[in-house]
Structure 1
Amino acid sequence: MKMSLFINPEHRPGDSMPERLQDHVEQVRVARQLGFDGVSIGSHLNYGNEVWFPALETLMRLAPEAEGMSLSTCMLVLPLYHPLHVAAQLALVDAACGGRAILGVSPGWQEDEFRIMGLEHKARISRFVESVDLIKRLFTENGVTFNGRHFTVEDLTLALKPVRKPRPPFWFGGSVEKAVARAARLADTSLGDSWVASSHLTKDVIVEQASVFRNTLSDLGKDMPGDFPLLRNVVVAPDKETAIRDAGPFLEASYRVFGQWGLFTDVVGSGKQQLDFDELLAGRVVIGAPEECAEQFADLAEATGCTRFITRIQWLGMDQKLVLRTLELLGDRVLPML
């Protein structure tokens, strides 16, 4: 079982940004020493009441501390950007980590982000698919000509090619069955492409969606990817009561923001704008003492067939000492049990 550290790029605007960035540097340094083999980062646009560190730029800062580790986005909201820009930035990240970059992308769901960028929210899926197709070609071909609904290029060559050949893998996000099936269609699993389940979904939903991914791949004559990651919220402490007491306020604060954005009404489909704390924990968080968390991880691996856990261990305003406690217990106690 492989383990990646998820970098939480969401911070309070009153915080010292140099200190928060240095916190992430320390997290990666510790994770590497503990045997984690990957670093992942999410993304949203930087506006409103929370600071969001840009994903690919942050990975570049973390690369020197992540020697030998993969660097991935999980996920970049791809339709918000021009594919040439993303392809060039990812190629640079791939150079910085010696050919271990992974481009995790999703169509996005938050309408405000598309409105701010002057883009049509309803067109995000077609824009997403075109972007994926164009980036794949820019990575592997010269003189690309592409005529789509959203993007048109003629005889275009990406001069800054990735180190990994023929190209870096893609991870595709998707929180509904239709999106999971689309990920299976887009994925070339022989090159390491995969689908990654959202951390916002409960275990039962993820198990169902993993079956959709596996069955769709089979119908298409594709094998399961060798590296099949699962993104999970994780809190490890000496006991479950301590974990809930220490991490609960920060987890609630982050999900309150997501709830205001429409996560639970528009994506998860709970019918409520905000969930009670017990509802947040139920099936969404691996939490407790090391032995309890190892058991939950093993159960998830058996139920889904995943081979990698991407561990989100930090939320809005969370103290670095709590982040490092979970990180160290994961590496020293939980990972050996897996």
Structure 2
Amino acid sequence: MRLTLFINPEHRPGDPLDVRLAEHVEQVTTARAAGYDGVAIGSHLPYGSAAWLPPFQTLTHLAPAAAGMSLSTCVLVLPHHHPLHVAADGAFLDAVSGGRFTLGVAAGWARDEFALLGIDRRERVGRFTESLDLITRLWSQDRVSFHGTYYRVDDGALALRPVQRPRPPIWLGGSAIRSVERAAELADTAIGDTWVASSHLAESVIVDQAQAFRARLGVLGKPQPADFPLLRNIVVAEDRSTAIREAAPYLQASYQVFDQWGLFNDVVGDPTAPNGVDELLAGRVIIGSPENCAEDLVRLARATGFTRLVARVQWMGMQQQVVCRTITLLAHEVLPMVEQELGRQP
């Protein structure tokens, strides 16, 4: 099983960003020394109650510390960006990483963000699919003509091309069964495309969605992906009570922002989740001792077949020493137990 470190780009307004960026460099350095395979980052607009770091620029900043590791967006809200810019920025990161870039994308969900950008939220799926089509053509074809509803290119060529051929792989995000099935329809699994689950959804939902993704691939006659990432919230400490005490306030602060954006009403369908620590943690956070976390990951691996853990280990305001402890314990103590158990008959 491979480990990818999810860099938390979400910080409190007014935080010293030079300090936060230096902490992220330390996190990547720690992960690389511990044997992590990759670094990933999410994206939202930096407005209101959370300052989100820009994904492409942040990955470029972290690239020297991540030498030899893959770099991924997990995920970029694609309708927020023009596909020509995404294609060029992705090609640049592929060169920076030595051909190890993965573009993770989703259609987005936050109503306020689309309103701020002047984009009709009802257009998000159409913009998403058009953008994805155009980006993959720009990466893999010498010249492109594209006449869509939202984007148009007349005999264009992307001069800044990715290192990977025919193109970098794509992780397709989705938080509902239809979006998971769409990911299977859009993915070219033969060259590394796959679906990546949302960290906000409870374990039981993730299991159902993984089954739906694999089933849809089977109907379409597509091969199962060789790399199957799973994005999960995870906190490892000496015991569960310590992990909850040290992490719960920051998890709550982060999810209060998401709740204000409509995550639990509009996307998750669980409006009571932010009401208390137990409700918030239930099924969406792997938390506790190394043994506790290994047990949860083994159960998830057997139920979903995931091969890569994209570990989100930090939330807004969390202390750096707590973050780095989880990074280290996950690699040195949790992962060996998981691999040993998965090597046995279930």
TM-score range, shorter chain: over 0.9
- Percent identical pairs in the alignment equals 59
Q: What is the CA–CA distance in structure 2 between the aligned matches of 1:270 and 1:285, rounded to whole Å?
A: 15
Contact preservation (8 Å) 1:262, 1:273:
no
Q: What does residue range 223-262 of structure 1 map to in structure 2 within 5 Å?
A: 223-262=223-262
Q: What is the CA–CA distance in structure 1 between the aligned matches of 2:111 and 2:140, rounded to whole Å?
A: 32
Match of 2:284 in 1: 284
Superposition deviation, residue 276 in structure 1? 2.1
Q: Deviations over 1:237-279 (max 9, x none)?
A: 0000000000010001000000000000000011448342111
Match of 1:117 in 2: 117
Match of 1:132 in 2: 132
Letter of the aligned partner of 2:90 in structure 1?
L
Q: What is the CA–CA distance in structure 2 between the aligned matches of 1:275 and 1:178, rounded to whole Å?
A: 28
Match of 1:8 in 2: 8
Letter of the aligned partner of 1:59 in structure 2?
L
More moved, 250-259 vs 43-52: 43-52
1:69 aligns with 2:64: no
Q: What is the CA–CA distance in structure 2 between the aligned matches of 1:11 and 1:30, rounded to whole Å?
A: 20
Q: What is the CA–CA distance in structure 1 between the aligned matches of 2:51 and 2:256, rounded to whole Å?
A: 15
Match of 1:21 in 2: 21
Q: What is the CA–CA distance in structure 1 between the aligned matches of 2:272 and 2:34, rounded to whole Å?
A: 39
Contact preservation (8 Å) 1:229, 1:309:
yes
Contact preservation (8 Å) 1:197, 1:206:
yes
Q: Deviations over 1:84-120 (max 9, x none)?
A: 0000001101001000000000000001111111111
Match of 1:302 in 2: 302
Superposition deviation, residue 28 in structure 1? 0.4
TM-score scaled to structure 1, two decimals? 0.99
Unpaired runs of at least 5, structure 2 = 340-346
Contact preservation (8 Å) 1:91, 1:160:
yes
Contact preservation (8 Å) 2:252, 2:274:
no
Q: What is the CA–CA distance in structure 2 between the aligned matches of 1:119 and 1:256, rounded to whole Å?
A: 25
SS in 1 for 2:64: helix
Match of 1:274 in 2: 274
Letter of the aligned partner of 1:142 in structure 2?
D
SS in 2 for 1:274: helix
Q: CA RMSD in A?
A: 0.9
Superposition deviation, residue 49 in structure 1? 2.0
Alignment CA distance shift 1:123-1:55 (3 Å): same
Q: Deviations over 1:110-154 (max 9, x none)?
A: 011111111111000000000000000000012200010000110
Letter of the aligned partner of 2:161 in structure 1?
K
Letter of the aligned partner of 1:101 in structure 2?
F
SS in 2 for 1:46: coil
Contact preservation (8 Å) 1:138, 1:144:
yes
Superposition deviation, residue 334 in structure 1? 1.0
SS in 2 for 1:155: strand
Contact preservation (8 Å) 1:8, 1:315:
yes
1:146 aligns with 2:125: no
Match of 1:318 in 2: 318
TM-score scaled to structure 2, two decimals? 0.96
Q: What is the CA–CA distance in structure 2 between the aligned matches of 1:15 and 1:123, rounded to whole Å?
A: 34
Contact preservation (8 Å) 1:143, 1:154:
no
Unpaired runs of at least 5, structure 1 = none
SS in 1 for 2:145: strand
